[in-house]
Chain A
């Protein structure tokens, strides 16, 4: 096991009667890109803000780079970078001035040109902040987070509200961070983002972590596959396969024994002399896993 950059045990946060974070454990190792994935209101931002030192916790143990973030120590802030959800930068300064100002806060800043290159803002270096596009402003946020050459970078929903091109750009940037050897804690509510970028993913729902694994691990831990085809007219479907109606005139079955069930289905179709139109077999996507996990834990707390 590598060195833990972030370690949390039984982390809790209560706002009055509401418990936003209900005792979670986290361990993030050096050099990892770790995604905290969950629907809005799951407690992701609260968790991250406790780790950043922006909020106090109600309970549990937390260690970030060996520090307790609740103690607000400068020595910790010098070693981490924070990219918040909302931007707050002086609109009349240029990109280079903004990054330079933040570089001045840190003892060993990253060279300006290197920061601008990682986030892809070299061409906008002399442009005023207010003249940047939304995607460029977000990349400047990341640049500001990187200015001090942090070992650990928090990225809170880095691509929310982006168009597809801007998202691809941001993804390239986050992959650049990995090659710099940074540890990244990313929150997102986009599944494809977690799948594309993260080494490990934790799914957070209603203040709890309901699953944690590599993106492929999360999907294959669930060995199920889905068989879908267009329902043939005027024929009774075979029993025993768990077939049920799905959207757009399709029927589907989830199976843990794909070869056997597919054989049974195709044998039946041949015997009946019908073609199985639009037949597909697919693994569960991360989205299927996610939706099932969020549904399940929804059912748990529902009265």
Chain B
């Protein structure tokens, strides 16, 4: 009970602080929609071959932007905020208080995941209203499980990359530099049938973003028959998540590195 109260309190104050920085909040919320609109304008006009089926560009971009949202809400925001809070002494202050570290962490992760879910609802609604893209029905469990596995993996990877970032000045460069190239080669920004060389596909298959985007494509695809679980992709994402977790437990720190 006491643990629950501590976590809820963390969430309450996190959410309050988020709301009170309207410029940051607006762009956090608008970011996936801006990408959705721009990518649809550039690449969404024609139908696409995804796997063995032909779907509209707009249908492709809803799960693609969902993958982007998972990466952004978990990996990018957790890595950035962890490094900034570590350098600013926030983490050290928490460490000196009786608040259990896990309660602080659950608060952090909870805030990221709640924000992620809100943005995903927004993206799906936006697609349904303006691009006539169906909301997943019988594959909804697969959507939710894929999102859960993705959120787990990209949160732990966010903490893991934070552990190797030396200071907050380096954070944006390291975080963006590590994730943006993957987003470009993992069928998130650019659809797969644009004549990308095969080796790019092999390269991206080594990393989790590609597996997340493919698993979400299947789960969101209106033509998917069956439950839509991509077990191999989910397995690869989960493996990355566990690796991230182990790395974090071994190398993460709460002390400023100055």
Residues of A at under 8 Å CB distance from B? Answer: 52-54, 74, 77-78, 82, 84, 86-93, 97, 101-102, 104-106, 128, 144, 148
Contacts and interface: CB of A to CB of B under 8 A. Distances in A.
Contact of A102 (B20, B97, B100): B97
B222 interface: no
B16 interface: yes
A106 B100 CA distance: 11
B256 interface: yes
Nearest to B99: A105
Given A54-B255, A90-B13, A77 B98 contact: yes
Contacts of A88: 85, 88-93
A301 to B, nearest CB: 26
A84 B88 contact: no
A74 B100 contact: yes
A77 B5 CA distance: 19
Given A92-B21, A93-B17, A128-B20, A105 B92 contact: no
5 contacts: A78-B98, A84-B93, A86-B256, A89-B90, A93-B16
A74 B93 CA distance: 14
B17 A92 contact: yes
B9 interface: yes
A212 B93 CA distance: 30
A97 B16 contact: yes
Nearest to A74: B98
A82 B89 CA distance: 12
B interface bracket (residues with beta carbon within 8 Å of A): 20 to 34
Contact of B88 (A86, A102, A144): A86
A97 B92 contact: no
B90 to A, nearest CB: 4
Contact of B9 (A86, A90, A104, A106): A104
Contacts of B135: none
Interface in B79-120: 85, 88-93, 95-100
B177 to A, nearest CB: 26
B164 interface: no
Given A88-B89, A88-B90, 15 more contacts: A77-B98, A84-B92, A86-B88, A88-B88, A88-B91, A90-B90, A92-B20, A92-B21, A93-B13, A97-B16, A104-B5, A104-B6, A104-B9, A105-B6, A106-B98
A109 to B, nearest CB: 11
Nearest to B101: A72
Contacts of B13: 90, 93, 97, 101
Contacts, number: 64
Interface of B: 5-6, 9, 13, 16-18, 20-21, 85, 88-93, 95-100, 255-256
A270 B95 CA distance: 69
B1 to A, nearest CB: 14
B98 to A, nearest CB: 4
A227 to B, nearest CB: 47
Contacts of A89: 90, 93
Nearest to A53: B96
A84 B89 contact: yes
Contacts of A74: 98, 100
Contacts of B89: 84, 86-88
A138 B93 CA distance: 14
Contacts of B21: 92
Contacts of B92: 54, 84, 88
B90 A77 contact: no
A105 B256 contact: no
Contacts of A144: 93
B150 to A, nearest CB: 28
> Which among B5, B16, B21, B256 has the greatest number of chain A C-beta atoms within 10 A?
B16
A112 B158 CA distance: 36
Contacts of A92: 16-18, 20-21
Nearest to B86: A88
Contacts of B20: 92-93, 128
Contacts of A128: 20
Contacts of B255: 54
A132 to B, nearest CB: 15
Given A88-B89, A92-B17, A93-B13, A105 B95 contact: no
B161 to A, nearest CB: 21
Contacts of A84: 89, 92-93, 96
Q: What 3 pairs between A and B have smallest CB-CB spacing?
A: A88-B89, A88-B90, A92-B20
Contacts of A93: 13, 16-17, 20
Contacts of B16: 92-93, 97
Contact of A54 (B88, B96, B100): B96
Contact of B95 (A54, A78, A90, A106): A54
B11 to A, nearest CB: 11
A177 B91 CA distance: 26
Contacts of A106: 97-98
A247 B93 CA distance: 47
